[in-house]
Structure 1
């Protein structure tokens, strides 16, 4: 005896007891679509289309429950997004109410987000936090539990963002009719199907595909290339093992690609490659079938069995268990149920997602938040100039400079070393166009931080945060000035000016010239030679020339003052080649113990 299908359909608590048909299309990584058709009471004159009684359905919740057992009906809740009335040849119209799963609530439009050091479950919850839980329940149960150092949502809806994460990290992502699952749920319903009773049409397919892959990623912190290659092996049924073997034989070349996700160490990239291989293997065996078991649902496990004749009797053998990744439900006006579905091997841990889009990032502006790189590598943290719900600062990012590297004589910091300051505005781009790898292009001025520019455009300058400045003027010269306004000026016309507020010291080995603001000048050296056609020394008070220990009092010397000249030494010799004259109003010559005067002729007057 044919079982009677139990069907309950409501639109905002209004029961739809009679309908022409109901269809529901469900799939992983997609919005579910439903369409309900039922006869509409004619309004007004014959042939007139009217939605007076049904326009209020738009925006309301449709719930559908169906099955053969009242205690275990399959349920679905969706949102009505469209109501239309189809009418022709003067007959009463057919009302078509259609809509989607409530997953469209997180597909509102492109959005932005920046997530630092958070795991996938936290990111999922943050990205969807502004959606009321009574509108859609979201359960995050990602297989990856480790935090991701940095992740960006870029001009993609929350749904597209989660869909991309599902594809990049090979996590399950589907709506089961009641809740949106990110990650494999802890419990899965199992349904037994028998070919010929529950399943009328069956296609069991084996296919081959390139499954071996190699991924690489550059780790700038250690200046190393991380890489990992898949083994091309798997476990499973003989059919699956054969498909893997033939795939490896036909696609013998391993394809190489940079990692799509951020990886921080060799273990990260190894796990990523293994998960990607598992995802490719999941597509090698598939089942496509149709039947009438209303208990079968998206995300459930179907064990398909067949009756096999053995000698004089039939026995039931299992073809295998399959994870239902896509299913279409159809119910007609007489209550007959029919479905078509697709499944992959039930032991599948990672799924291959093909229908997700990757962002194509443009150059972005950001503000510098931190430049105290704990590893001393000159990196900075920035915050994008975005107005969005979650805008964490970035991971430590490298800064592009005109020249950077090392040499045989300079182990670090050869080239230009300029680290943007906290509060500076910078421009960012993305390595390989990958949103997972931002890099700082450089700094930019804005209306409050920049000035200058003229028709001549002669002035160029370099200024540090404390005020040290190097200014080059193509119409004049150049000036190097420190924060205290001490400067060196080259005027471009052959003149140089050195000016300081306290002192100047020029040193070369044991030689030095010192001068200070009080007027003191000290020239020091082992041998000091002054040459010139005319050499003059002038003083308003006195001139002293002495010989003695360094930094000590001279023991002998010559003192010249404006009123008195004193010459004192241990032995004094004065001579003139032709004549020596000593004249004064009064001359005193005396010897403490003896005075000797000798000459060929002595005149005393």
Structure 2
């Protein structure tokens, strides 16, 4: 039976030796960049020998997934003439997607079969997969390489490498179709030799005309009867308004200040041809890529303005082919067109006559070949629905893998092709808390860390890291929930253990609040201006080795309490300028070894009180120039051995007297040794006076005086304070105005405006300087019985039970003048311990000296004669039986006629003579026991009261 359309397949079943299925109807459509679908209505052969039961049980499963081909005979430019031009066949192939039984017509069973291109298989699989450093063509090849079907690429454009493209849950078809639509690649199928082949194109020149010459040029014949060739019966030429400009933009963080906006303008020659479309984001980072994408989108919009549609009884209008239209009334429409879409309907119309007849109808959409075709963006790019997690990866042997931007690479949890290597993803930017121009925070996730990944605008191709997470492998830095009150930041030394880290920690537990920090190795802190640190309580600094402190300007340390520094080794202090040590109280320096002080210039040592130097070994003092030693009071040099004073010239000057005391005193011993034997009386200068058993002393006058062996003053006892100038030189203006702060020393000593040095030479109206008028049992420095610290304004109004050192009964003329002043209420001052003033001590010394001189005008006692000591009463045995060897040395000058003056001086503290207010007792030497003693009676005359019984006498 001859048929003009047949159905064949390698898996076609058979019934009684014949093909089990014959075509009855074909309906389908093909379009550029679209998966075609042809619906075939097939039936079993009209063979009465085939029961309907058998016809109804064709093995349809055997057809599923198998390629099936519909072959249509073409008549060419003639009606059935075998010599007609273009007589050929057309094939439509596809894979059987679906086959179903739909009923029966008599003994014939009816089936419906849907065939689709093999690319439809790409709709049946989806994946999450990453493609890096590949062009869109490379990605298509990799995806379609999984399918063993023919593919041909007719591409003329260039396609750059893409850093990162993700098939994010898309089917293989949607993924590659989205990429091809974005980059201007489209496709169609060519059917031949029982197969269909996928053709990828990006330009008009890649299209061909239909293999049959009858369809190279097709006439338009709407008003003519049926001719002996196929023609177009309807054709609609049209013009459409479209957009004239495409603008797109994006952002490249590596050129964050660069403008990478791209635009393309192809206005058609119509009104409103400058309509602009702005697209963002443009999905690019390089301006050249943006320009290419904008051009593709503008070409797509421009081609929409010249689309045409037509129809006719045509069998050879195939999608992707070109033809030329002729005889169309619109002259400019008679041109070459590219078939964008074709819909074919083939139906069987007669089966009774035994000759198969079919009716054909085709409608199509075309556009001129002068226009470039770009398929519209029909497949949307998938968007993520929220953040995801990933694992940071890198090369083997590395713990941190990053680039100059602090980016890292990850393996997404959905990436089943990842190998936990740096090739698993692109570089991902890491979100930081603060990011500025060379300032801000930086935290680089390390290999193996779990991070939170989000996507810019939900684009799977633009991931970034926004945080990190702990898991069972990467645990928190401290145990939880035990330390739930702790927070902070802890790093980890690369290759180190849990204890090797830098970190800070905050403890917020009530009562145990703490800020803690650790530097695993070194810590450097820079403060460019001021730095203030306040510590409420204690501060401890423990330095294992050295510590250096450099201060560019001043350095001050203020310690309210004690300060202690313990140095195990040496201490060196280098001061470029001056150095001042101000110690309010005592200061001690204990040096276990040598102590050396080197002064390049002037050296001064000022001691307000006592000064003692104790040298356990050798002591040497070398002065390169002159040397002066000035002592305000007494000065003692004591040597355990020989004391040698050596100089070219020695001069001893005493403003009052010079005393040389010793067991044997020799002055130029070679000259005066002959006079050391004995002799008698005074007078001449060559005589000698001596005592049995006593050493002799040679005087400058040639007189040898016997002196008792008296003890040498102890050198360790500090000398007395040097008396200052008379306190009358700086008297206060009014003692009543400042009675406590600057009291006058003795009102009786300042009777006039210009007092003399000694108050005894300036008598007052009522002299009361004798100690008999102010007796006390125990002489002290200050009157302890003074009831108040603040005396009254006038001396006459401050008498107390215990009189003060100076009498107040008889005021002086100056005091009378002060009494006339109006009385003013004394100021109350807080009770405080009276201060011991040196003026009082000086006043008491002066009073004692004056009292002694009044008792014996022939005896002159120096200031240092009387000092504090236990009181001696009138009945004291000290005054009666004291032996002369226990008394102090008595220096006796030779007698000079007309000068009855002797000097008693140089008393050590415990044997000083005493003047008491209650018992006027002087300690004097024992009476002489030889004739030589009588010769001294003219040189020394003790007072009468000293000649009491038991005290001895002078003969």
Partner residue of 2:313 out of 266, 282, 292:
292
Distance of aligned partners of 1:328 and 1:89 in 2 relative to their CA distance in 1, 3 Å threshold:
closer
Partner residue of 2:122 out of 94, 106, 114:
106
Instruction: State the distance in 2 between where 1:44 and 1:604 align.
Output: 169
Partner residue of 1:19 out of 15, 20, 23:
23
* TM-superposition CA deviations, 1:476-513 (whole Å, max 9, x none): 3223222249899x999744444454333232227899
Higher strand share: 1
Instruction: State the distance in 1 between where 2:238 and 2:409 align.
Output: 51
Instruction: State the distance in 2 between where 1:503 and 1:378 align.
Output: 37
Distance of aligned partners of 1:136 and 1:174 in 2 relative to their CA distance in 1, 3 Å threshold:
same
Distance of aligned partners of 1:150 and 1:484 in 2 relative to their CA distance in 1, 3 Å threshold:
same
Shift of 1:351: 0.8
Partner residue of 2:64 out of 27, 44, 58:
58
Shift of 1:156: 1.0
Shift of 1:68: 1.7
2:486 alignment partner in structure 1: 458
Shift of 1:417: 3.0
Instruction: State the distance in 1 between where 2:491 and 2:282 align.
Output: 40
2:415 alignment partner in structure 1: 387
Unaligned runs of 5+ in 1: 234-240, 310-315, 406-411, 550-559
Residues 1:446 and 2:471 aligned together = yes
Instruction: State the distance in 2 between where 1:575 and 1:460 align.
Output: 70
Instruction: State the distance in 1 between where 2:584 and 2:51 align.
Output: 126
* TM-superposition CA deviations, 1:246-270 (whole Å, max 9, x none): 2416x3xx332324321313x3322
Partner residue of 2:157 out of 137, 143, 146:
143
Distance of aligned partners of 1:538 and 1:189 in 2 relative to their CA distance in 1, 3 Å threshold:
same
2:840 alignment partner in structure 1: none
Q: Please identify, of 435-444 and 490-499, the stretch whose mean Cα deviation from structure 2 is larger.
A: 490-499
- Contact preservation (8 Å) 1:24, 1:328: yes
Equivalent positions of 1:401-480 (< 5 A) are 401-405=432-436, 412-451=437-476, 452=478, 453-454=480-481, 456-463=484-491, 465-466=493-494, 467-475=501-509, 476-480=513-517
Shift of 1:523: 5.6
- Contact preservation (8 Å) 2:486, 2:505: no
- Contact preservation (8 Å) 1:27, 1:325: yes
Distance of aligned partners of 1:588 and 1:29 in 2 relative to their CA distance in 1, 3 Å threshold:
farther
2:250 alignment partner in structure 1: 217
Instruction: State the distance in 2 between where 1:272 and 1:388 align.
Output: 31
Partner residue of 2:382 out of 359, 366, 369:
359
1:555 alignment partner in structure 2: none
Instruction: State the distance in 1 between where 2:12 and 2:630 align.
Output: 133
Equivalent positions of 1:108-127 (< 5 A) are 108-127=124-143
Equivalent positions of 1:443-592 (< 5 A) are 443-451=468-476, 452=478, 453-454=480-481, 456-463=484-491, 465-466=493-494, 467-475=501-509, 476-484=513-521, 494-509=537-552, 525-526=575-576, 541-542=592-593, 544=595, 546-547=597-598, 586=640
Shift of 1:289: 2.0
Residues 1:179 and 2:194 aligned together = no
1:305 alignment partner in structure 2: 326
Residues 1:194 and 2:214 aligned together = no
- Contact preservation (8 Å) 2:488, 2:503: no
- Contact preservation (8 Å) 1:477, 1:492: no
- Contact preservation (8 Å) 2:433, 2:441: yes
Q: Secondary structure of 1:281's partner? A: helix
Equivalent positions of 1:72-83 (< 5 A) are 73-83=89-99
Equivalent positions of 1:31-50 (< 5 A) are 31-40=35-44
Instruction: State the distance in 2 between where 1:518 and 1:40 align.
Output: 114
Distance of aligned partners of 1:511 and 1:84 in 2 relative to their CA distance in 1, 3 Å threshold:
same
Q: Secondary structure of 2:290's partner? A: helix
Q: Secondary structure of 1:86's partner? A: strand
Larger relative contact order (Cα-Cα within 8 Å, sequence gap ≥ 6): 1
Distance of aligned partners of 1:561 and 1:87 in 2 relative to their CA distance in 1, 3 Å threshold:
farther
Instruction: State the distance in 2 between where 1:262 and 1:213 align.
Output: 15
Instruction: State the distance in 1 between where 2:520 and 2:432 align.
Output: 25
Distance of aligned partners of 1:262 and 1:388 in 2 relative to their CA distance in 1, 3 Å threshold:
farther
Shift of 1:51: 4.6
**Rg comparison, structure with higher value:** 2
Q: Secondary structure of 2:342's partner? A: strand
Instruction: State the distance in 1 between where 2:632 and 2:73 align.
Output: 139
- Contact preservation (8 Å) 1:168, 1:260: no
Q: Secondary structure of 1:503's partner? A: coil
Q: Secondary structure of 2:465's partner? A: strand
2:179 alignment partner in structure 1: 165
- Contact preservation (8 Å) 1:188, 1:300: yes
- Contact preservation (8 Å) 1:43, 1:49: no
* TM-superposition CA deviations, 1:392-425 (whole Å, max 9, x none): 55444433212222xxxxxx31221333345544
Q: Secondary structure of 2:237's partner? A: strand
Instruction: State the distance in 1 between where 2:380 and 2:452 align.
Output: 25
Q: Secondary structure of 1:282's partner? A: helix
Distance of aligned partners of 1:137 and 1:89 in 2 relative to their CA distance in 1, 3 Å threshold:
closer
* TM-superposition CA deviations, 1:417-457 (whole Å, max 9, x none): 33334554433322233334333324444332231443633
Q: Secondary structure of 1:507's partner? A: coil
Partner residue of 2:33 out of 24, 29, 33:
29
- Contact preservation (8 Å) 1:306, 1:317: no
Distance of aligned partners of 1:307 and 1:546 in 2 relative to their CA distance in 1, 3 Å threshold:
same
* TM-superposition CA deviations, 1:170-191 (whole Å, max 9, x none): 2213444523334337642223
2:431 alignment partner in structure 1: 400
CA RMSD in angstroms comes to: 4.4
Shift of 1:597: 8.5
Q: Please identify, of 210-219 and 360-369, the stretch whose mean Cα deviation from structure 2 is larger.
A: 360-369
Shift of 1:576: 6.8
Shift of 1:522: 5.7
Instruction: State the distance in 2 between where 1:487 and 1:217 align.
Output: 42
- Contact preservation (8 Å) 2:249, 2:261: yes
Q: Please identify, of 162-171 and 477-486, the stretch whose mean Cα deviation from structure 2 is larger.
A: 477-486
Q: Secondary structure of 2:249's partner? A: strand
Equivalent positions of 1:345-356 (< 5 A) are 345-356=368-379
TM-score, L = length of structure 1: 0.78
- Contact preservation (8 Å) 1:47, 1:90: no
Q: Secondary structure of 2:273's partner? A: helix
- Contact preservation (8 Å) 2:389, 2:413: yes
Residues 1:263 and 2:262 aligned together = no
Distance of aligned partners of 1:564 and 1:161 in 2 relative to their CA distance in 1, 3 Å threshold:
farther
Q: Secondary structure of 2:335's partner? A: strand
Distance of aligned partners of 1:317 and 1:421 in 2 relative to their CA distance in 1, 3 Å threshold:
closer
Q: How many pairs does the alignment contain? A: 562
Distance of aligned partners of 1:338 and 1:448 in 2 relative to their CA distance in 1, 3 Å threshold:
same
Instruction: State the distance in 1 between where 2:592 and 2:366 align.
Output: 109
Q: Secondary structure of 2:259's partner? A: strand
Higher helix share: 2
- Contact preservation (8 Å) 2:32, 2:187: yes
Shift of 1:211: 3.4
Shift of 1:300: 1.5
Instruction: State the distance in 2 between where 1:499 and 1:459 align.
Output: 26
